[in-house]
Amino acid sequence: MTEVSDELLLGRVAAGDRAAMRSLYARHSTRCFRFLIRLVRDEARAEDLMNDTFFDVWRQAERFEGRSAVSTWILSIARFKALSSMRRTTEKELEPEVAEAVEDDADTPEVTAQKLSKAQAMRRCLEMLTTEHREIIDLVYYHEKSVEEASEILSIPAATVKTRMFYARKKLAELLSAAGIDRGWP
């Protein structure tokens, strides 16, 4: 039996088909959750945002124009929700006396590289990238989106995606080098 396309499922969702929505959710929820957790770095918040994303997919299915893949459209909604959520969240600053009393017991890059496996070091270095660079790496390498799809998800020109990819890889290479990780993997 051939699998029903995302576009057909979305059309059925627009008509109020709950089974089609369950299928679409099953197909894309894990990828969406992983994308969100890399952006917001909080599992509970990512779960809430994913639920909000799929609620919007349910409500806005008829607005899908087919100019992109359904997965790209879903990730665009998720990204917008994550960015909106991060703008609303503000961290309370520590009082100067409290901040001075906090002891910095963080490992040096050399000690960290010795303690962690290369994969863990890579994740740590990815977290040190700016949000813009982390998004590009995540979309292109983890979600295997093309430059054009990343451009659409991020609402930026394709040339900007390419530029951010260049600088993200350059910064990641610097961070990995500082952590004692060479570019080659055994």
Residue ranges covered by each domain of the chain: 6-88, 96-178
Q: How many Å apart are CA 117 and CA 114, to the nearest integer?
A: 8
pLDDT, position 37: 92
Question: What's the pLDDT tens digit per position in 101-119?
Answer: 666 666 666 654 455 567 7
Q: How many Å apart are CA 68 and CA 148, to the nearest integer?
A: 9
pLDDT higher than 90, residue 78: yes
Q: Which residue has the higher pLDDT, 106 or 36?
A: 36
Q: Which of 68, 87, 39 is nearest to 153 (CA)?
A: 68
Q: Which residue has the tokens 């627009």?
A: 14
Q: How many Å apart are CA 48 and CA 36, to the nearest integer?
A: 10
* Average pLDDT for 72-76: 93
pLDDT higher than 60, residue 38: yes
DSSP 129: S
Angle between helices 6-14 and 70-88 (to 10 degrees): 60
Q: Which of 58, 16, 8, 51 is nearest to 33 (CA)?
A: 51
* Two tokens, residue 178: 């500082």
pLDDT higher than 90, residue 178: no
Cα distances (angstroms) measured from residue 97 to each of 14, 15, 91, 93, 102: 56, 59, 17, 11, 9
Looking at 3.40.50.460, 1.10.10.10, 3.40.640.10, 3.40.50.720, the CATH number of the domain 96-178 comes to 1.10.10.10
DSSP 102: S
pLDDT higher than 80, residue 2: no
Q: How many Å apart are CA 161 and CA 158, to the nearest integer?
A: 5
CATH code for the structural domain at 6-88: 1.10.1740.10
* Two tokens, residue 74: 């879903």
pLDDT higher than 90, residue 18: yes
pLDDT higher than 90, residue 56: yes
Q: How many Å apart are CA 50 and CA 26, to the nearest integer?
A: 12
